[in-house]
């Protein structure tokens, strides 16, 4: 039970059980006066809206039957096309398998060619280094030979000068 606040003597509070009962009864009565007539009129409107049965439904039924026949024919055509697509899909899968059978060896061959190309490039780089070293050695040899030739010519000139003075 809800505790009540103390009130002045003789005054009735809103929480008094007698008032609550009478207040609820009054609210229920007012709702009954407002809601019940609305429900009755809604039921009456719903009852008057019922469609009247059509006198001649045969053309509509025939049109509907023709549509159903057309849909069945379309469905049968689609099933036939699906069968053709299935066979084409199988052919495509077989062709894809054949392509994979060719592609794998070619891929391995390309890998081998890549390795060979890499080896050739490294050989070319090594030969370029050797060529540079040999060119440098040849240049040094030419320099030494030129110095030797100059020294020989100088010695011959000295010997010729000594012989001429005597």
- Residue indicated by tokens 């190309």: 117
Average pLDDT of the segment spanning 50-73: 81
The C-alpha atoms of residue 128 and residue 120 are separated, in whole angstroms, by 12
Give the global pTM.
Answer: 0.35
Give a yes or no: residue 75 inside a domain.
yes
Domain total in the chain:
1
Give a yes or no: residue 20 inside a domain.
no
Give a yes or no: residue 31 inside a domain.
no
Mean pLDDT score of the chain: 80
Average pLDDT of the segment spanning 116-125: 94
- pLDDT for the residue numbered 155: 95
Tallying the residues shown for the chain, one arrives at 166
- pLDDT for the residue numbered 90: 86
Give a yes or no: residue 19 inside a domain.
no
The C-alpha atoms of residue 52 and residue 106 are separated, in whole angstroms, by 78
CA distance between the termini of the chain: 159
42 or 127, higher pLDDT:
127
Give a yes or no: residue 14 inside a domain.
no
Would the pLDDT of 28 be above 80? Answer: no
Give a yes or no: residue 102 inside a domain.
yes
Would the pLDDT of 26 be above 70? Answer: no
- pLDDT for the residue numbered 136: 93
- pLDDT for the residue numbered 166: 78
Helix (H, G, I), strand (E, B) or coil at 75: helix
Nearest of 40, 58, 36 to residue 48 by alpha carbon: 40
* Integer CA distances (angstroms), 159 to 95, 146, 149, 163, in order: 93, 20, 15, 6
| Structural domain of 129 | 61-165
DSSP per position, 26-87? HHHHHHHHHHHHHHHHHHHHHHHTPPPPPS--HHHHHHHHHHHHHHHHHHHHHHHHHHHHHH
Give a yes or no: residue 22 inside a domain.
no
Give a yes or no: residue 74 inside a domain.
yes
Which residues, at least 6 apart from 23, have a Cβ–Cβ distance to it below 8 Å? none
Q: Does residue 20 contact residue 26 with C-beta atoms inside 8 Å?
A: no
The C-alpha atoms of residue 96 and residue 85 are separated, in whole angstroms, by 16
């Amino acid at each position: 039970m809800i505790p009540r606040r103390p009130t002045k003597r003789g005054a009735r509070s809103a929480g008094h059980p007698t008032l609550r009962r009478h207040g609820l009864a009054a609210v229920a009565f007012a709702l009954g006066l407002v809601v019940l007539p609305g429900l009755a009129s809604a039921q009456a409107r719903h009852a008057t809206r019922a469609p009247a049965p059509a006198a001649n439904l045969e053309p509509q039924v025939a049109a509907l039957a023709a549509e159903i026949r057309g849909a069945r024919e379309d469905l049968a055509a689609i099933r036939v096309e699906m069968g053709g697509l299935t066979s084409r899909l199988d052919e495509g899968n077989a062709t894809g398998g054949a392509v994979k059978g060719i592609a794998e060896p070619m891929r391995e061959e390309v890998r081998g060619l890549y390795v060979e190309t890499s080896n050739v490039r490294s050989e070319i780089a090594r030969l370029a280094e050797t060529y540079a070293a040999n060119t440098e050695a040849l240049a040094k040899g030419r320099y030494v030979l030129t110095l030797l030739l100059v020294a020989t010519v100088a010695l011959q000139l000295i010997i010729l000068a000594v012989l001429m003075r005597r």
